[in-house]
Amino acid sequence: MDLNEAIIKRPLPIMRSFTANLLAYAMGRRIEYFDQPTVRKIVKEAGANDYRMSSFILGVVRSGPFQMMQVPTSVAEMNEGA
């Protein structure tokens, strides 16, 4: 079995991993256990749209964790995160 066959037979783990990484990148932090329901929801909705890239991106942008993240308001706060 090659990689393509494996992906086609079991797309969910790969899609969840991809989504978790996309969400982590967008939020600038690691994904925690409490983010998993969001990841599963994004994958489910993307699956209904044939796993289109735009579905993943919109899912991340519309997700609660992404919309609730706090943006640093000063240079000092930005340096604290580094």
Q: What is the pLDDT of residues 61-80, one digit of tens each?
A: 999 999 998 766 665 555 66
Residue partners of 66: CB distance under 8 A and separation at least 6:
23, 26, 27, 60
Inter-residue contact 23 to 31 (CB < 8 Å)? yes
pTM recorded for the entire structure:
0.76
Q: What is the pLDDT of residues 13-29, one digit of tens each?
A: 889 999 999 999 999 99
Q: How far is it, in rounded angstroms, from Cα 15 to Cα 51?
A: 8
Q: How far is it, in rounded angstroms, from Cα 69 to Cα 60?
A: 12
> Which DSSP helix (H) or strand (E) runs through 48?
helix 36-48
The ranges assigned to domains in the chain are 3-80
